[in-house]
Amino acid sequence: MPELPDVEIYRRVLERHGLNRRIAAVEVLDVGMLADVGPADFARALAGDRLTGTRRHGKNLFARRGRGGHLWMHFGMTGALAPFREDAPAHARILYRFEQGPHLAYVDVRRLGHVGLVEDVEAWLEAEGIGPDALDPALTAERFAEALGRGRRSVKAALMDQARIAGIGNVYADEILFQAGLRPDVPVSALDEEWRRRLFAVMREVLRTAVDCGAAAERYVERLPDDYLTKRREKGARCPRCDTPLETLRIGGRTSFYCPRCQIDPRG
């Protein structure tokens, strides 16, 4: 599932190929991708307009429109934003055609993403109950510690809760916890302030490293550091640090990979 680093890469794709270029036409190939807007209104709103800026918040990508308002894209489980020149890529659902190539395609194999129009980004985020972006400079270690909460919920579930911190999903939650040395099932109530500060710093480092390695690009995992768990998230794999067999847990309906030796429970 595209998480914050992947969507940041798509933001850069949009910025490189879509900004300040007149949109000649929009083709909605799959109306099921649209949220709260019909295909004719969606195409009419964008045709002839220009996208003048980009913003990513968590897993959401916004593009400011010259006429006002924003284009909004969420990538679901398998969505992507891909440039093309002649033939549209496989599984293209929406095409943004400019006066000259390259054009842009919203691609989604499993059709679980959504695209729409948003007037005010801040108001939309508040209405949707989306928390602060994990890489927002305004997110301090203190705000992060508070957002995690103090209850019995597992630390992994808290990290993946978009209402608390926006942008982290299953894969990067596992990586953050591995790099921090915490088991995924530790309740947030067991984390003292030192652990919370550590988790905040590691979260920032992991997400930035993923972006720098080209998250969302084919074979980007090979460019991650050798001690990253993401390179070993498969049945029968061993810890990249101590060679202990990895174990799994089900948390929030998702499979969590962790090392029983390198990741601890602070409660002992």
Residue 184 falls in the annotated catalytic set? no
Q: What is the pLDDT of residues 23-73, one digit of tens each?
A: 999 999 999 999 999 999 999 999 999 999 999 999 999 999 999 999 999
DSSP-derived 3-state class of residue 165: coil
Whether residue 85 is found in the same domain as residue 179: no
Whether residue 21 is found in the same domain as residue 118: yes
Whether residue 38 is found in the same domain as residue 99: yes
Q: Are 117 and 63 in contact (CB under 8 A)?
A: no
CA-nearest of 82, 8, 15, 25 to 51 is: 15
- The answer to whether residue 220 is domain-embedded is yes
> CA dist 132 to 11, 12, 136, Å?
18, 20, 7
Question: What mean pLDDT value characterizes the chain?
Answer: 96
Q: Where are the alpha helices (DSSP H) in 93-243?
A: 121-128, 141-148, 155-160, 170-180, 193-212
DSSP-derived 3-state class of residue 207: helix
Residue 3 falls in the annotated catalytic set? yes
DSSP-derived 3-state class of residue 115: strand
- The answer to whether residue 267 is domain-embedded is no
Whether residue 121 is found in the same domain as residue 153: no
At 210, which CATH number?
1.10.8.50
Whether residue 46 is found in the same domain as residue 152: no
Residue 64 falls in the annotated catalytic set? no
CA-nearest of 171, 62, 72 to 114 is: 72
Whether residue 115 is found in the same domain as residue 159: no
Q: Are 213 and 206 in contact (CB under 8 A)?
A: no
- Residue among 59, 65, 164, 183 flagged as catalytic: 59
| pLDDT confidence of residue 217 | 87
Whether residue 22 is found in the same domain as residue 122: yes
- The answer to whether residue 133 is domain-embedded is no
Domain extent, residue 77, equals 4-128
Residues belonging to the chain: 268
- The answer to whether residue 264 is domain-embedded is no
| pLDDT confidence of residue 239 | 98
Domain termination site, one of 84, 104, 128 = 128
- The answer to whether residue 268 is domain-embedded is no
**Range 94-101 average pLDDT:** 95
Whether residue 177 is found in the same domain as residue 109: no
136, with CB counted inside 10 A (0-12, 13-18, 19+), is: middle
Q: What is the pLDDT of residues 202-229, one digit of tens each?
A: 999 999 999 999 998 888 999 999 999 9
Q: What is the pLDDT of residues 143-170, one digit of tens each?
A: 999 999 999 999 999 999 999 999 999 9
Q: How far is CA 259 from the centre of its chain?
A: 24
Number of domains in the chain: 2
Q: Tokens 């949109």 identify what position?
A: 23
CA-nearest of 144, 171, 140 to 158 is: 144
User: How many Cβ atoms are within 10 Å of 242's Cβ, its own excluded?
Assistant: 10
d(CA 198, CA 181): 10
Domain termination site, one of 93, 128, 163 = 128
- The answer to whether residue 34 is domain-embedded is yes
The set of residues, in sequence order, having a beta carbon less than 8 Å from that of 264 and lying 6+ positions away, is 181, 182, 183
Domain termination site, one of 128, 152, 187 = 128
| pLDDT confidence of residue 73 | 98
Residue 122 has pLDDT above 90, yes or no: yes
Residue 1 has pLDDT above 80, yes or no: no
- Residue among 97, 241, 254, 266 flagged as catalytic: 254
- The answer to whether residue 229 is domain-embedded is yes
- The answer to whether residue 265 is domain-embedded is no
Whether residue 177 is found in the same domain as residue 77: no
Q: Are 227 and 250 in contact (CB under 8 A)?
A: no
Whether residue 145 is found in the same domain as residue 116: no
Q: What is the pLDDT of residues 169-207, one digit of tens each?
A: 999 999 999 999 999 999 999 999 999 999 999 999 999
Whether residue 109 is found in the same domain as residue 220: no
| pLDDT confidence of residue 247 | 97
